[in-house]
């Protein structure tokens, strides 16, 4: 899985995920679901550590992306709001992004935390009491 991030000149954030480009505004709200793979978005995009908190009627799943290609998936006993609040209170992230929608008939909410490129996001495993999905 390839995940890259770029902050645009206007302050928007571009996230490239497996060939799909999503554009988030300055407040972190998704404004374009599939913007295409044009050089404006791909040039200068970086592998950055990312934590995703995905919630749906099926439960909560946390994914850690270390530098684009190493994804690890976890479950937790915490609800999604508690996970997000804990990550917000640590204040180590550089941008928080929000995505919500429907996949099939299942509605979901996703909070994405983008961290500085030198950050080891392994601390999240202990902070959120995560158990890895194998």
Encode pLDDT of 82-111 as tens digits: 999 999 999 899 999 999 988 888 899 999
Which residue range is the domain that position 72 belongs to? 3-132
Residue 1 pLDDT: 56
Number of domains in the chain: 1
Residues 6+ positions from 81 with CB-CB distance below 8 Å? none
Residue 50 pLDDT: 92
User: Is the Cβ–Cβ distance between 21 and 14 less than 8 Å?
Assistant: yes
pLDDT at 131 over 90: yes
The whole-model pTM stands at 0.89
């Amino acid at each position: 899985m390839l995940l890259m991030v770029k902050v645009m000149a206007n302050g928007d954030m571009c996230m490239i995920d497996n060939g799909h480009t999503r554009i988030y505004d300055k407040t972190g709200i998704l404004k374009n679901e599939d913007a295409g793979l044009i050089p404006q978005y791909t040039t200068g995009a970086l592998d950055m550590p990312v934590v995703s908190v995905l919630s749906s009627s099926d439960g909560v799943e946390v994914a850690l992306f270390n530098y684009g290609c190493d994804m690890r998936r976890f479950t937790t006993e915490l609800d999604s709001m508690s996970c997000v609040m804990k990550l917000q209170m640590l204040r180590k992230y550089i941008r928080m992004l929000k995505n919500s929608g429907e996949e099939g008939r299942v509605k979901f909410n996703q909070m994405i935390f983008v961290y500085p490129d030198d950050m080891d996001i392994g601390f999240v495993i202990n902070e959120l009491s995560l158990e890895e999905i194998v």
